[in-house]
Amino acid sequence: MDFKIATIPGDGIGPDIVREGCRVLEAVGKKFGHSFTFTETLAGGAAIDATGNPLPAETLDVCKKSDSVLLGAVGGPKWDNLPGSKRPEAALLGLRGEMKVYANLRPALMFKQLASACPLKAEIVEDGLDILIVRELTGGIYFGERGRSEDGTTAWDTEKYSRDEISRIVKIGFESAMKRKKRLCVVDKANILESSRLWREVTESMKGNYPAVELSYMYVDNAAMQLVRNPGQFDVIATSNMFGDILSDEASQVTGSIGMLASASLGDSGPGLYEPIHGSAPDIAGKDLANPLATILTCAMMLRYSLKAEREAVAVEAAVAAVLDAGWRTGDIAGDASRDKIVGTKKMGDLVVQALEQ
């Protein structure tokens, strides 16, 4: 197969890590007889600097015509004072909305090789940590009506959900749970928010189709606490756009290795949007310090979900595991590794490519 991949290196460490992701895709392609054609395109701060627009029409066009999109990261202090619709983040929201990738899968996985990096007490995570957050991505308060009063003293944003927007996320929650430990927790704020009460109503109307799944509901404040008190109770969490944004950052930190976590954003058809969950880390951009493994694992998700190349996805994941087993670490996951095992972005990419070639 020849796969057409649109790449959006973006800002900060984005170019450093996307480069390694592409090299790994090429290596896995070579091993399994596929080729990849990459088309690099602009979004975020890089696009603002080049064109004045965070998401040029040409970028959307390239993305929509691809089999999948690999995005590094967008944003940085340089663009922080621009108005909302002109900020680099507007590119991300525009891409998600225009590509209609409404479901964001964010696995928070603790790699056993990196257990010592987990900030929780060993007894809390003795059974490991493996949570899948299914975050609604193209609705809710991120996309609802917002505004300011004429005198500028009052501002508002709106959380609004339709039954359809909810049911397609909850469905993915149930179906993912069926493939995992069969537990789904819908996280909301149904003691206060009417939209959350609709999430519960819709979920209740669907649960009969999934009798094998143990369903629970949890208020988001409690969920934030439970994630550090007893994260092992969670298998799949399905939740709204903003709650998913917040809880996925928390869950990633709980695993101790934010530099390792991947994500996939999917719609009904068309290309998926793939990005590591960490940000653009402008302070270490271009210094060969960033951890490329989150992006490499994001490429594995791309192989699995969009390119329907499961063996290839497993091969990439196994190569990452082999590199970690051999003790190689980037600075962010170094822990007490000896200095000669601490490597930069490029070398980490090399090691994964070598493991794939074996």
Residues that bind Mg ion (CB under 5 A): 245
Please say which residue, 108 or 351, places its beta carbon nearer to Mg ion.
108
343 binds, among ligand IPM, Mg ion, none (CB under 5 to 8 A by kind): none
CB of 99 to Mg ion, least distance (A): 18
Contacts of 287 (CB under 8 A, 6+ apart): none
CB of 246 to Mg ion, least distance (A): 7
Residues with a known catalytic role? 142, 189, 221, 245, 249
- For residue 318 the two structure tokens come to 């196994």
98 binds, among Mg ion, ligand IPM, none (CB under 5 to 8 A by kind): none
Between CA 274 and CA 265 the distance in angstroms is 6
- Cα-based angle 162, 165, 170 (whole degrees, multiple of 5): 120
Binding mask 237-276 for ligand IPM (x = CB under 6 A): --------x-------------------------------
Burial category of 206 from C-beta neighbours within 10 Å (exposed 0-12, middle 13-18, buried 19 and up): middle
CB of 75 to ligand IPM, least distance (A): 6
Q: Is 302 helix (H, G, I), strand (E, B) or coil?
A: helix
Strands 272-274 and 264-266: antiparallel
Q: Which residue is nearest to ligand IPM (CB)?
A: 89
Contact 306, 269 (CB under 8 A): no
188 binds, among ligand IPM, Mg ion, none (CB under 5 to 8 A by kind): none
Q: Is 196 helix (H, G, I), strand (E, B) or coil?
A: helix
Binding mask 70-109 for ligand IPM (x = CB under 6 A): -----x-------------x--x-----------------
Please say which residue, 245 or 332, places its beta carbon nearer to ligand IPM.
245
- Cα-based angle 250, 145, 83 (whole degrees, multiple of 5): 75
Contact 19, 295 (CB under 8 A): no
Total binding residues toward ligand IPM, as defined by CB under 6 A: 4
* Binding stretches for ligand IPM (CB under 6 A): 75, 89, 92, 245
